[in-house]
C-alpha cells in the first residue's frame, strides 16, 4: 500500500464501483434501515482509506467494495456481512479499533470485523524472530489458516467473507511479483478452493480454479480456452436444436422452468485431461444444460419426484448414458448439493450433460451454505437432512483438539475437504455416509465406540472379511464383535477416518507409560545403529521436527510406540536437516539416498534439484522451494506437493531462473500412448524417436489386447518444446489415437 492524493478520476472510479454495490445490496436488504447501515459502512471505510492505494496503483477502497460485491452477489449474505466486508481492513490498516466499530455499528458487525482482523494479525518482529528458530516445525501460515478455521466455531460468515476477500485478491493477482503469486495461488488451491467446494460455493470455486490454472499452467489455459471457443462457434446452433424438443415437452407437461447453457471451465477440462490421461478431443461432456424448475404446488408429486419426472421426459426424447447418471437428489453431497445429472446423446452425436434442479436446489448450488441456512430459517425442511451441519460439527471437534498443532490441522482439514463420501448400509438397510477409502473398522467406530473397540471381523455383502477391508459404495456391512476384545495398536496402520484413529489413540493413552517405553527403545536402537548417541537434546529436536506440541519427549516416544511415527528413514531425515554430522556413516548413506531421488540440474546451478513428485523439464512453469542449506527444489507450478509446501511455508518460495542445460543428457519424461495395433508400429515409433529426434529411450512398455494397444515410453528430453514436437509427430503416425505426457 502507498499514500498519494486521490484525483478526480479516482473518485469517479470509487463512486462507480460503489454504485454497483449499492444496486446489488438493495436487492438483498429488507428495508431502508439496512441500506442505511451499508451506506454508513461505506462512508466510514471510504474516509478511513482515503488517499491509500493498492500495489496496482488504484484506490485501496476499491478492494473492500469488490469484496462486498462478492459477498452479496456470489454468496448472498445480508447487510451485516456487506458492512463487515466494507470495514474488514479498517482495524488492521488504520488507527480505528474494534471498539470504534462496535460503538458505530453494533456488536455483530464488530464481531465479524474482529474475526477477519484476527485472521490477518501479523506477528511483531521480535515474536517472528523467535518463530523462525522453529521454522521446520511451526508455520506462520498454518497458524493463520487455523485462525480462519477457528472462526467456524463463532460465525461461519467470517470464513465466507474471507473467501470473498481471497477471490478478489486472485482477480487482482497480476499486479503481484511472481513469487508472491505462486504463494497465494498455492494457498488458494490447498485450502480456499476445497473450502469453497465444501461450503457449496461452486461459482467462487470455479473462478479461483481458472485463475490458478491461468498462472500455474498458462500454456494449457490458453490452449484449452482457444479450443473451447472454437468448439462453441461450431456447435452453438446444434445445442439450441438439442434444447428445442426438451423445452417443448416440459412446457406441454406444465412445468415452470428455465434452461441455461454452460460450457466446462478450462480448469475442469484440464483436470479431466490430467486425471484420465486423455487429450482435449476425448473430453466428451464439454457442454452442459441446467434445467431449473419451480415445483408445481398443485400436485401430489414431491420436489424430488418432479426431478425424476423431468428426467423421464428428457430421456424419452434422447438416449442417455446409464453409467453417467448421478442422483444427488436422493443422496445429496456432504456440502448440501442436490441435483439429478444425466448425459444425453444429441441427434448430431454430441454428448451433453443435463443437470435437473429445483429453484431451491439451484440457490443452494450457487450460494452454498448461506442459501441452505436461509431456507432452513424460513422453515423449509429438506427431505434429506443436509450433511453440512454434521461436517461443521466434525471440523469444530478437530479444531478444539489439544493434540493437534497447526501443521497437522492444516493437513487434516485439507484431506477432509478434498475427500469424498460413499454410501453404505447397515444389516437393517439403514443408509450411512463414510469417507471413500474407509475400512470396515472405520465403519464400526462410526456406529458406536464400543462396537469399534470390540470388533473382531466383518461381513460385507454377507461375505466374511477382515476389519482392514476397504468399503465400496453400496456395500452392506455387518460388524462381528466379541465381549472380551480390545483395540490393538496395529489397527492404527489401516484406520482411515480421524474419528476412529482418535478413539484408538485415546484408548492407549491409558497405557502411555508402557507404550512410550517401547517407543524409546525403538528410537534408541535406530539412532545407535546410525552412529548417534541418544539423549534429551536430540529427542527434543525430533519432537520439534514432527510438530509435537511443547516438544514433549514422552509424546514423541508414545507416537513412535504406537507406530504413528516411523523412525526409519523419516526420523533420520529429520535430523539431517537440523544437526547433520558429516563424520557419521549414516549421514553419508543419507546423502547418497537423497542424491538418488533428487539429481542436480547443472554444475553451474548445483543448488537446484528436481523434485521427483512431478519431474519438471525446462520450459515447464516451475516454482522453487528453498531449503535452509540453500538447496532449491524445482517443482512444476501445478504440482500438488508444491502447493502443500507453499501453503504452509510461503517464505520458502522463490522464483527460480532455470534454463536448458546443454551439457546434460536430458530430463526424464514419459509419454503414454494408445491406439490400434498393426505390424511394424513399434518399429516406426522407436525409429522416429531415436533416429529423427535423436532422443534416448530409457524404457518402453506396450501391451496389445484384441487389436488395441496401450503403454508408455520413458525418455530423456532437453526441454518441453522438444517433447511437444515429439507428441505432434507421434500423433500423426497411422494407428496412434492418443499421445499425452504423463507422470513418471
Q: Which of 341, 336, 420, 428 is nearest to 385 (CA)?
A: 336
Q: Which helix (H) or strand (E) holds 701?
A: strand 696-705
Alpha helices in 253-282 (DSSP H): 266-276
Q: Which of the four pLDDT bands, split at 50, 70 and 90, describes residue 629?
A: low
Residues 6+ apart with CB under 8 A from 226: none
| 66 given a catalytic annotation | no
| 475 given a catalytic annotation | no
pLDDT of residue 491: 94
pLDDT at 603 over 70: no
User: Which fold, 218-377?
Assistant: Beta Polymerase; domain 2 (3.30.460)
C-alpha–C-alpha distance, residues 601 and 229, integer Å: 39
pLDDT of residue 602: 46
The bridge status of strand 667-676 relative to strand 708-717 is: antiparallel
The bridge status of strand 632-636 relative to strand 608-610 is: parallel
Distances (CA, A) of 106 to 29, 103, 175, 266: 17, 6, 36, 44
Among candidate residues 51, 89, 92, 327, the one labeled active-site is: 92
* Three-state secondary structure call for residue 285: coil
C-alpha–C-alpha distance, residues 260 and 366, integer Å: 13
pLDDT of residue 384: 44
- 224-260 pLDDT, tens per residue? 999 998 888 767 788 899 999 999 999 999 999 999 9
pLDDT at 599 over 50: no
C-alpha–C-alpha distance, residues 726 and 673, integer Å: 12
Contact 508, 458 (CB under 8 A): no
pLDDT of residue 116: 85
C-alpha–C-alpha distance, residues 424 and 445, integer Å: 14
pLDDT at 170 over 90: yes
Q: Which of the four pLDDT bands, split at 50, 70 and 90, describes residue 43?
A: very high
Verdict on whether the full-model pTM lies above 0.85: no
Q: Which of 657, 619, 595, 144 is nearest to 413 (CA)?
A: 144
Spell out where 172-285 has E strands. Answer: 256-263
Greater confidence, 48 or 572? Answer: 48
The CATH code of the domain at 667-742 is: 3.30.70.260
Q: Which of the four pLDDT bands, split at 50, 70 and 90, describes residue 570?
A: very low
pLDDT at 580 over 50: no
Q: Using CA atoms of 59, 64, 65, 66 in order, give the dihedral in degrees to the nearest 10.
A: 100
| H helix and E strand count, the chain | 31, 20
User: DSSP character for 123?
Assistant: P
Among candidate residues 16, 23, 43, 93, the one labeled active-site is: 93
Q: Which of the four pLDDT bands, split at 50, 70 and 90, describes residue 209?
A: very high
Is the four-CA dihedral 203, 209, 215, 217 of positive or negative sign?
negative
- 322-364 pLDDT, tens per residue? 988 989 888 777 667 889 999 999 988 888 999 999 999 998 8
Greater confidence, 215 or 716? Answer: 215
pLDDT at 576 over 50: no
- Mean predicted confidence (pLDDT) in 463-474: 92
Cell of 550: 511443547
Greater confidence, 383 or 208? Answer: 208
Q: Which of the four pLDDT bands, split at 50, 70 and 90, describes residue 69?
A: very high
| Lowest-pLDDT range of 245-254, 427-436, 505-514, 600-609 | 600-609
| Lowest-pLDDT range of 39-48, 481-490, 559-568 | 559-568
Which residues of the chain form CATH 3.30.70.260? 667-742
Q: Which of the four pLDDT bands, split at 50, 70 and 90, describes residue 661?
A: low
Q: Which of the four pLDDT bands, split at 50, 70 and 90, describes residue 573?
A: very low
pLDDT at 151 over 70: no
Which residues of the chain form CATH 3.30.460.10? 218-377
pLDDT of residue 686: 84
Q: Which helix (H) or strand (E) holds 642?
A: helix 640-648
pLDDT of residue 517: 92
pLDDT at 34 over 90: yes
- Mean predicted confidence (pLDDT) in 163-175: 93
Percent of residues, the chain, with pLDDT higher than 70: 80
pLDDT of residue 201: 86
- 259-302 pLDDT, tens per residue? 998 888 999 999 999 988 888 988 877 888 999 999 988 888 88
Q: Which of the four pLDDT bands, split at 50, 70 and 90, describes residue 171?
A: very high
pLDDT of residue 135: 37
pLDDT at 399 over 70: no
Mean pLDDT of the chain: 82
pLDDT of residue 224: 95
Question: 424 pairs with which residues across the strands?
Answer: 432
Domain 2-121+155-215: give its CATH architecture: Orthogonal Bundle (1.10)
Greater confidence, 325 or 390? Answer: 325
Amino acid at each position: 500500500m502507498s499514500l498519494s492524493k486521490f484525483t478526480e478520476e479516482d473518485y469517479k472510479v470509487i463512486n462507480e464501483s460503489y454504485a454497483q454495490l449499492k444496486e446489488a445490496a438493495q436487492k438483498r436488504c429488507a428495508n431502508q434501515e439496512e441500506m442505511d447501515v451499508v451506506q454508513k459502512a461505506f462512508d466510514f471505510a471510504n474516509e478511513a482509506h482515503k488517499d491509500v492505494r493498492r500495489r496496482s496503483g488504484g484506490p485501496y477502497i476499491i478492494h473492500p467494495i469488490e469484496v462486498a460485491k462478492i459477498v452479496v452477489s456470489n454468496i448472498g449474505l445480508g447487510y451485516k456481512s456487506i458492512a463487515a466486508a466494507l470495514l474488514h481492513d479498517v482495524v488492521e490498516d488504520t488507527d480505528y479499533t474494534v471498539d470504534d466499530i462496535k460503538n458505530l455499528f453494533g456488536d455483530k458487525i464488530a464481531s465479524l470485523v474482529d474475526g477477519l482482523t484476527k485472521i490477518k494479525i501479523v506477528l511483531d518482529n521480535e515474536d517472528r524472530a523467535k518463530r523462525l528458530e522453529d521454522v521446520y516445525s511451526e508455520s506462520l501460515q498454518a497458524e493463520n489458516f487455523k485462525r480462519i478455521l477457528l472462526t467456524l466455531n463463532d460465525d461461519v460468515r467470517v470464513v465466507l467473507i474471507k473467501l470473498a476477500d481471497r477471490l478478489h485478491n486472485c482477480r487482482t493477482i497480476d499486479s503481484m511479483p511472481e513469487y508472491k503469486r505462486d504463494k497465494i495461488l498455492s494457498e488458494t488451491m490447498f485450502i480456499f478452493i476445497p473450502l469453497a467446494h465444501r461450503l457449496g460455493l461452486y461459482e467462487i470455486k470455479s473462478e479461483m480454479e481458472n485463475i490458478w490454472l491461468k498462472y500455474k499452467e498458462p500454456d494449457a489455459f490458453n490452449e484449452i480456452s482457444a479450443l473451447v471457443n472454437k468448439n462453441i462457434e461450431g456447435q452453438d446452433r446444434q445445442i439450441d436444436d438439442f434444447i428445442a424438443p426438451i423445452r417443448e415437452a416440459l412446457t406441454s407437461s406444465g412445468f415452470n422452468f428455465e434452461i441455461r447453457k454452460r460450457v466446462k471451465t478450462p480448469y475442469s477440462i484440464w483436470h479431466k485431461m490430467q486425471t484420465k490421461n486423455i487429450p482435449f478431443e476425448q473430453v466428451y461432456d464439454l457442454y452442459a444444460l441446467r434445467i431449473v424448475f419451480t415445483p408445481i404446488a398443485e400436485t401430489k408429486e414431491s420436489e424430488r419426484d418432479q426431478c425424476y419426472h423431468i428426467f423421464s421426459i428428457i430421456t424419452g426424447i434422447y438416449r442417455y448414458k446409464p453409467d453417467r447418471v448421478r442422483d444427488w437428489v436422493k443422496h445429496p453431497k456432504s456440502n448440501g448439493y442436490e441435483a439429478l445429472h444425466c448425459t444425453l446423446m444429441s441427434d448430431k452425436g454430441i454428448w451433453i450433460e443435463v443437470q435437473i434442479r429445483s429453484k431451491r436446489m439451484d440457490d443452494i448450488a450457487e450460494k452454498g451454505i448461506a442459501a441452505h441456512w436461509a431456507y432452513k430459517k424460513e422453515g423449509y425442511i429438506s427431505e434429506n437432512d443436509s450433511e453440512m451441519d454434521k461436517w461443521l460439527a466434525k471440523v469444530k471437534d478437530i479444531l478444539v483438539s489439544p493434540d493437534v498443532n497447526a501443521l497437522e490441522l492444516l493437513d487434516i482439514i485439507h484431506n477432509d475437504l478434498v475427500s469424498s463420501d460413499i454410501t453404505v448400509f447397515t444389516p437393517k438397510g439403514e443408509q450411512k455416509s463414510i469417507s471413500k477409502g474407509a475400512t470396515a473398522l472405520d465403519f464400526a467406530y462410526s456406529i458406536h465406540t464400543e462396537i469399534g473397540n470390540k470388533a473382531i471381523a466383518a461381513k460385507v455383502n454377507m461375505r466374511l472379511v477382515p476389519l482392514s477391508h476397504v468399503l465400496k459404495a453400496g456395500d452392506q456391512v455387518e460388524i462381528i464383535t466379541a465381549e472380551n476384545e480390545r483395540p490393538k495398536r496395529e489397527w492404527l496402520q489401516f484406520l482411515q477416518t480421524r474419528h476412529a484413529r482418535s478413539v484408538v489413540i485415546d484408548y492407549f493413552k491409558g497405557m502411555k507409560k508402557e507404550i512410550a517405553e517401547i517407543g524409546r527403545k525403538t528410537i534408541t536402537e535406530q539412532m545407535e545403529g546410525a552412529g548417534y548417541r541418544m539423549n534429551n537434546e536430540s529427542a527434543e529436536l525430533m519432537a520439534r521436527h514432527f510438530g509435537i506440541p511443547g516438544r514433549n519427549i514422552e509424546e514423541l516416544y508414545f507416537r513412535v510406540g504406537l507406530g504413528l511415527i516411523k523412525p526409519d528413514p523419516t526420523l533420520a531425515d529429520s535430523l539431517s536437516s537440523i544437526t547433520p554430522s558429516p563424520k557419521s556413516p549414516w549421514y553419508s548413506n543419507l546423502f547418497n539416498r537423497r542424491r538418488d531421488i533428487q539429481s542436480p540440474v547443472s554444475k553451474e546451478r548445483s543448488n537446484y534439484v528436481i523434485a521427483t513428485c512431478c519431474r519438471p523439464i525446462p520450459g515447464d512453469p516451475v516454482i522453487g522451494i528453498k531449503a535452509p542449506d540453500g538447496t532449491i527444489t524445482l517443482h512444476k507450478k501445478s504440482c500438488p506437493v508444491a502447493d502443500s509446501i507453499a501453503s504452509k511455508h510461503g517464505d520458502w518460495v522463490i522464483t527460480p531462473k532455470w534454463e536448458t542445460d546443454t551439457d546434460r543428457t536430458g530430463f526424464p519424461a514419459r509419454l503414454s500412448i494408445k491406439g490400434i495395433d498393426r505390424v511394424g508400429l513399434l518399429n516406426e515409433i522407436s525409429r522416429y524417436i531415436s533416429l529423427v529426434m535423436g532422443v534416448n529411450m530409457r524404457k518402453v512398455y506396450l501391451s496389445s489386447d484384441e487389436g488395441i494397444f496401450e503403454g508408455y515410453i520413458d525418455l530423456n528430453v532437453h526441454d518441453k518444446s522438444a517433447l511437444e514436437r515429439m507428441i505432434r509427430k507421434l500423433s500423426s503416425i497411422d494407428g496412434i489415437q492418443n499421445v499425452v505426457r504423463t507422470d513418471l
